[in-house]
């Protein structure tokens, strides 16, 4: 199995509290791991570790692990009306959006049986707009026993009424291999792993840029290695994102606070890849929706904060299409 799935050694079981039932799932709590309801900052990097135990009197073997996330209200930030007194919550649609973060089946082989214990570590980013995200972890065994655990991460921003959304992404430069890439929705600020978007057309249509193994950024339609698979990610689902370098500095970047100024900083036609990112550089970008996407063209800015230990970029995007 891939995706950070590790068989648990017996010596690591000390301190786990047992519960009744044939199949057990525990969140492991520590200062590093999120194991219950909590608040988070925009795009905070979080981690959750869970232990799954099916070693009772009649262990059946684990067959399925599924993780879903419910974002309420929607993942992308909402552009509030002016004056704000005319705002009606019913106008925020969809009220809740769910993604299947992981849907993994375990299988037997000639050399291995179904696992009966599992330690799973999940590293993920929090949402960037005001709202909640409900994480549900569900596991099933061969005897059709099912157990699930849930927690909620809350986000509350004092600047939700601004016409732009801004946040800082801290991205670890992934190890070599196409499966380690990160797929980023610049509008919502979510960076998802390969296993989440590979077979999810609705998430492919929301992916604006891809973090490659060497730390470069590329538009989904860019012809760079490793290329996306045309069969699983057709061209019709690929957003066209273009970048144009600006003369902005860290200070003047922060001074761009209206959507028209953000748009005017983009100089067409732009480039589809950023192979070498230098600290202090600021790029304007234009996101052109894929042919099957409900989202029209949007603009934003990308400021390179750090590129030595992973990639850290500050993003500022217009909430409304322009």
Residues 37 and 123 in one domain: yes
Pairing of strands 298-306, 311-318: antiparallel
pLDDT of 110: 62
Same-domain status, 200 and 120: no
Instruction: Check whether residue 166 and residue 243 sit in a common domain.
Output: yes
pLDDT, residue 84, reads 77
Same-domain pairing of 126 and 204: no
157, part of any domain: no
CATH number of the CATH domain containing 8: 2.60.40
One domain for residues 191 and 315:
yes
First vs last C-alpha separation in the chain: 44
Last residue of a domain, one of 128, 151, 174: 151
State whether 146 and 228 are in the same domain.
no
The mean-pLDDT minimum among 4-8, 139-143, 317-321 falls in 4-8
Residue 9 CB contacts under 8 Å (≥ 6 apart), including other chains: none
> Is the pLDDT assigned to residue 12 strictly greater than 70?
no
- The verdict on 171 and 314 lying in the same domain is yes
In the predicted structure, residue 14 carries a pLDDT above the cut 80? no
129, 151, 173 - which closes a domain: 151
Q: If you search the block for the tokens 């009424």, which residue do you land on?
A: 161
- pLDDT tens digits along 65-88: 999 999 999 898 888 777 777 777
Residues 279 and 314 in one domain: yes
Give yes or no: residues 138 and 174 share one domain. Answer: no
Are 146 and 5 part of one and the same domain? yes
Q: Do 122 and 5 share a structural domain? A: yes
Tell me the pLDDT tens digit for each residue of 155-167: 999 988 899 999 9
Of the pLDDT bands very low, low, confident and very high (cuts 50, 70, 90), residue 200 is very high
102 with 240, same domain: the answer is no
Residue 13 has pLDDT above 70, yes or no: no
User: Which of the two residues, 2 and 268, has the higher pLDDT score?
Assistant: 268
Q: Is residue 44 part of a domain?
A: yes
* pTM above threshold 0.75: yes
User: What integer best gives the mean pLDDT of the chain?
Assistant: 87
The total domain count for the chain is: 2
Range of the structural domain that residue 72 is part of: 1-151
From the centroid of its chain, how far is CA 176? 19
Q: In the numeric block, which tokens belong to residue 249?
A: 């500095």
């Amino acid at each position: 199995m891939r995706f950070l799935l590790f068989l648990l050694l017996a010596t690591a079981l000390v301190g786990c509290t047992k519960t009744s039932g044939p199949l057990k799932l525990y969140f492991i709590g520590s200062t590093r791991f999120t194991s219950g309801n909590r608040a988070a900052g925009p795009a905070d990097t979080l981690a959750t570790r869970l232990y799954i135990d099916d070693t009772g009197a009649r262990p059946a073997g684990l067959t399925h692990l599924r993780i879903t996330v419910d974002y309420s209200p929607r993942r992308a930030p909402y552009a509030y009306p002016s004056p704000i007194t005319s705002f009606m919550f019913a106008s925020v649609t969809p009220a809740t959006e769910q993604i299947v973060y992981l849907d993994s089946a375990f299988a037997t082989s000639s050399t291995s049986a179904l696992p009966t214990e599992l330690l799973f570590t999940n590293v993920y980013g929090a949402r960037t707009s005001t709202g909640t995200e409900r994480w549900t972890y569900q596991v099933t065994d061969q005897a059709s026993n099912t157990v699930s655990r849930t927690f909620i991460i809350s986000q509350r921003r004092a600047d939700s009424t601004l016409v732009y959304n801004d946040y800082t992404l801290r991205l670890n430069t992934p190890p070599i291999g196409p499966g380690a890439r990160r797929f980023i929705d610049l509008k919502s600020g979510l960076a998802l792993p390969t296993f989440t978007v590979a077979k999810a057309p609705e998430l492919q249509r929301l992916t604006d840029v891809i973090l490659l193994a060497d730390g470069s950024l590329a538009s989904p339609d860019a012809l760079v290695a490793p290329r996306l698979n045309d069969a699983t990610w057709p061209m019709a689902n690929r957003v066209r994102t273009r970048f144009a370098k600006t003369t902005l500095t860290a200070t003047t970047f922060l001074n761009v606070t209206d959507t028209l100024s953000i748009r005017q900083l983009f100089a067409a036609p732009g480039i589809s890849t950023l192979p070498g990112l230098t600290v202090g550089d600021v790029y304007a970008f234009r996101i052109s929706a894929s042919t099957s996407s409900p989202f029209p063209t949007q603009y934003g800015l990308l400021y390179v904060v750090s590129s030595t230990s992973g990639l850290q970029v500050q993003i500022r995007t217009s909430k409304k299409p322009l």
